[in-house]
Structure 1
């Protein structure tokens, strides 16, 4: 019998996300990003979407029992070093995912969980049955990191326009860290991403690149999850994930008119300058 401990291997990220047939966002983006930063994705599809590189036309959640069955077959055999969650499709799927995470944390209490709070497409199409905020609410308290963009942070805490208060709300729900992504901010030539945790706040400022991109949030959250799976500390994973995502956007390509696809196939260089 082969001794697997002597073979080349990769840390695995269990991914729950929707299928985007354009290949720009969702599970396709997750697989590419996680693989590019040195980990391996275990993809469990939460929903079948109808979309191109610009517009979502329909979202069809998979059956929660099928989702749970897929995940449990995987975790019975394959060690999982992180979990990444994108769109869940509905509350039933979110609850099933929460059950799988609870099982994993019985053996790995510190298992990193990255929740990308995808509430709608970039053009505003809802990506869950009913109210997307309700669909994901049970997962916020399980997350090691929550990664809302500015509109999502506002929808999750509509009582204030202050991102600090929005982040504090998510931290109060049980999230350990919050990265508020500033891509939807004012077009002043830069993008400011803000990391909030129990110990304070840190900002990163990035050059705003020309054009529109499909799957940016999926790409960033998955890269961070890939780094966390490999044992990176949170600040290191956030910093390297953002550097790598910025490079992927700089390498974006077109498949049709409209939003570009991030160039996620490039191997990472942890010492690269942006």
Structure 2
């Protein structure tokens, strides 16, 4: 049988935890990155015990195992972007930071998307150590960080969004995408993008999306993973954020339920990934 081979897609190196419910973490990252035209190289950092409501346990993998998995991939494949979910432990975050520095030595412009996942929607912790302390080695390596309002408040205090963004930039992040999905239940979800070098008082981009009536398992993972794919494709930050949000909104709008509790975003629904 005949057929055309696909051209080589950009590869995204993913560090995230495994979610056996299939809703969040690595199980969210892989289909989202594929849907946006890239190939995921997946390095699990932790094994979790969770369903679509609660996290019962987090077992961080050994940092040498995390390093070895990634090193084999780095030595073999061209990495076009990196997506960071939970590290699981401070030692894992430090190992990941060293790997990113190695990649940046070859490609200083390598995009790195940091999703600062501190807890699930219910508030269950997602690290063996203090989750906010775990990610400290990664700030300075992040091209863009994507906290929701709860995460931004925990990391920076209960101050105005512009002040939270400025604080994250002081820690080294070049871009901050503050997500409004887990904020006060207003009619619309408002996402704000702040860029280093722009006005510190006003976002460089502002997006409004209709707030859907349900709760979702892995919505933040989906947005961060799809953003990493868009950046791997070479889109500029504004275009990448716009396309990633459009994809995520589509995944949420076509979500499905596998049990009572949070719905599962439909990351493999037909979606036009054109800019």
TM-score normalised by structure 2 residue count: 0.94
Distance 1:7 1:19 in 2: 28
Match of 1:192 in 2: 190
Match of 1:54 in 2: 53
185-194 or 99-108, larger mean C-alpha shift = 185-194
- Is the CA contact (8 Å cut-off) linking 1:53 and 1:260 kept in structure 2? yes
Q: Secondary structure at the match of 2:68?
A: helix
Alignment of 1:22-101 (within 5 A): 22-101=21-100
Q: Shift in Å at residue 9 of structure 1? A: 1.1
- Is the CA contact (8 Å cut-off) linking 1:228 and 1:234 kept in structure 2? yes
- Is the CA contact (8 Å cut-off) linking 1:48 and 1:59 kept in structure 2? yes
Q: Shift in Å at residue 26 of structure 1? A: 0.3
Is 1:104 the counterpart of 2:103 in the alignment? yes
Distance 1:20 1:150 in 2: 23
Distance 1:60 1:21 in 2: 13
Structure 1 segments (4+ residues) deviating >4 Å: none
- Is the CA contact (8 Å cut-off) linking 2:150 and 2:183 kept in structure 1? no
Match of 1:229 in 2: 232
Distance 1:91 1:208 in 2: 35
Deviation digits for residues 96-154 of structure 1, max 9, x if unmatched?
00011011011100000000000111111111122111100110110000000001001
Distance 1:8 1:171 in 2: 37
Q: Secondary structure at the match of 1:261?
A: coil
Match of 1:175 in 2: 173
Seen in structure 2, the aligned counterparts of structure 1 residues 119 and 11 have a Cα distance that, compared at 3 Å, is same
Distance 2:226 2:102 in 1: 24
Match of 2:211 in 1: 208
Alignment of 1:10-21 (within 5 A): 10-21=9-20
Unpaired runs of 5+ in structure 2? none
Q: Secondary structure at the match of 1:45?
A: strand
- Is the CA contact (8 Å cut-off) linking 1:19 and 1:45 kept in structure 2? yes
- Is the CA contact (8 Å cut-off) linking 1:37 and 1:267 kept in structure 2? no
Q: Secondary structure at the match of 2:27?
A: helix
Q: Shift in Å at residue 271 of structure 1? A: 6.2
Match of 2:155 in 1: 156
Matched length? 266
Distance 1:66 1:111 in 2: 23
Distance 1:102 1:122 in 2: 32
Deviation digits for residues 169-209 of structure 1, max 9, x if unmatched?
00111100000100122222210001011214121000001
- Is the CA contact (8 Å cut-off) linking 2:36 and 2:273 kept in structure 1? no
Match of 1:243 in 2: 246
Distance 1:271 1:68 in 2: 34
Q: Shift in Å at residue 156 of structure 1? A: 0.7
Deviation digits for residues 153-176 of structure 1, max 9, x if unmatched?
011112x42111111000111100
- Is the CA contact (8 Å cut-off) linking 1:140 and 1:173 kept in structure 2? yes
TM-score normalised by structure 1 residue count: 0.95
